[in-house]
């Protein structure tokens, strides 16, 4: 699988499985400048091996935001692994259109996918040269409303993870619950995981020990704690982001490598 090899290669070369989530705030004057300056430093110092722009934050800013998203993806595709966090998922033909948008128009290496409508809504995103990260056990408090419900002896998220893995998808599994080790046992060590929730969302690092058997295919995401580290540290954005990413890499490394 070409995408999986690229995912692994970029992590091995950098020595990092940290992903930088790009979630611009409303009112930011220079989104591209702010995030490019930080990302250039993080890549230059081998502190990240992926970026994850969140489509919703850009779309909320209208065409200016979408133009900024395009400029950021175009700047970094080919330099690192680009995950478009769009949480797509619809009936077959609509999913085909969304997949073309994510992979063709935006040029992303991967996209996040919502599984509620079932296998035919996921299938158009499954490609050898791309990765579809299906929402498994997410990091938000409301995940308990549906994902934790039992269907027989299994929970809904467990069924989703098994189905998605069999289809060749990766999984989004938040670090804010203790589900990760169990999911790895269910689907095996070779299914790539995208793990949000570290940092500002309060997720702990110890659950990451579950990734030890095959660490370089996974990505641990941190967004605002890197991008806006300067607001707490009182430094310029690039140096504060660098220090935060260094801290995150150390903590991840203690559990994973």
DSSP 30-81: -HHHHHHHHHHHHHHTT--SEEEEBHHHHHTTHHHHHHHHHHHHHHHBTTBE
Phi then psi for 123, rounded to 5 degrees?
-50, -40
Q: What is the DSSP letter of 24?
A: P
Of residues 1, 84, 96, 79, the one with CA closest to residue 39? 79
Tell me the mean pLDDT in the region 121-143. 97
Q: Which residues are catalytic?
A: 87
> What is the token pair recorded at 100?
């073309």
Whether 98 has a pLDDT exceeding 80, the answer reads yes
CA distances from 168 to 6, 25, 112, 126, 233 (A): 16, 34, 14, 7, 42
Q: For residue 234, what pLDDT band results from cuts at 50, 70 and 90?
A: confident
CA distances from 106 to 81, 127, 168, 186, 216 (A): 13, 16, 22, 33, 25
Q: For residue 1, what pLDDT band results from cuts at 50, 70 and 90?
A: confident
What does the pLDDT read at residue 13? 97
Whether 140 has a pLDDT exceeding 80, the answer reads yes
Q: For residue 101, what pLDDT band results from cuts at 50, 70 and 90?
A: very high
Tell me the mean pLDDT in the region 136-142. 95
Whether 172 contacts 19, CB under 8 Å:
no
Q: For residue 131, what pLDDT band results from cuts at 50, 70 and 90?
A: very high
Tell me the mean pLDDT in the region 81-108. 97
- Please state which of the ranges 96-100, 124-128, 175-179, 241-245 shows the lowest mean pLDDT: 175-179
What does the pLDDT read at residue 222? 96
2-256 placed in CATH 3.40.50.2000: no
Ranges of each domain in the chain: 2-256
**pLDDT tens profile 172-185:** 999 988 999 999 99
pTM over 0.95: yes
* The CA-based dihedral angle spanning residues 179, 180, 186, 191, taken in that order and rounded to the nearest 10 degrees: 150
Whether 199 has a pLDDT exceeding 70, the answer reads no
What does the pLDDT read at residue 198? 84
């Amino acid at each position: 699988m070409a995408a999986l090899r690229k995912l692994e290669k970029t992590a091995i070369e950098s020595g990092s499985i940290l992903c930088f989530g790009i979630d611009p705030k409303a009112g930011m004057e220079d989104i591209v400048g702010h995030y490019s300056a930080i990302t250039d430093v993080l890549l230059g110092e081998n502190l990240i091996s992926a970026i994850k722009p969140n489509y919703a934050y850009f779309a909320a800013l209208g065409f200016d935001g979408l133009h900024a998203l395009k400029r950021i993806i175009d700047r970094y595709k080919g330099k690192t692994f680009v995950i478009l966090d769009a949480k797509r998922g619809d009936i077959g033909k609509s999913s085909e259109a969304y997949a073309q948008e994510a992979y063709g128009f935006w040029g992303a290496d991967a996209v996040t996918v919502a599984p509620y409508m079932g296998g035919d809504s996921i299938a158009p995103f499954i490609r050898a040269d791309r990765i579809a990260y299906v929402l498994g056990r997410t990091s938000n408090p409301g995940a308990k409303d549906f994902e934790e419900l039992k269907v027989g002896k299994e929970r809904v998220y467990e069924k989703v993870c098994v189905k998605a893995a069999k289809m060749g998808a990766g999984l989004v599994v938040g670090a804010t619950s203790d589900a990760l080790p169990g999911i790895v046992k269910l689907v095996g060590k070779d299914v790539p995981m995208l793990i949000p929730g570290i940092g500002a969302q309060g997720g702990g690092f110890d659950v990451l020990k579950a990734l030890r058997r095959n660490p370089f295919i996974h990505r641990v995401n941190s967004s605002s704690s890197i991008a806006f580290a300067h607001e707490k540290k009182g430094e310029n954005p690039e140096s504060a982001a660098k220090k935060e990413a260094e801290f995150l890499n150390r903590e991840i490394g203690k559990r994973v490598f």
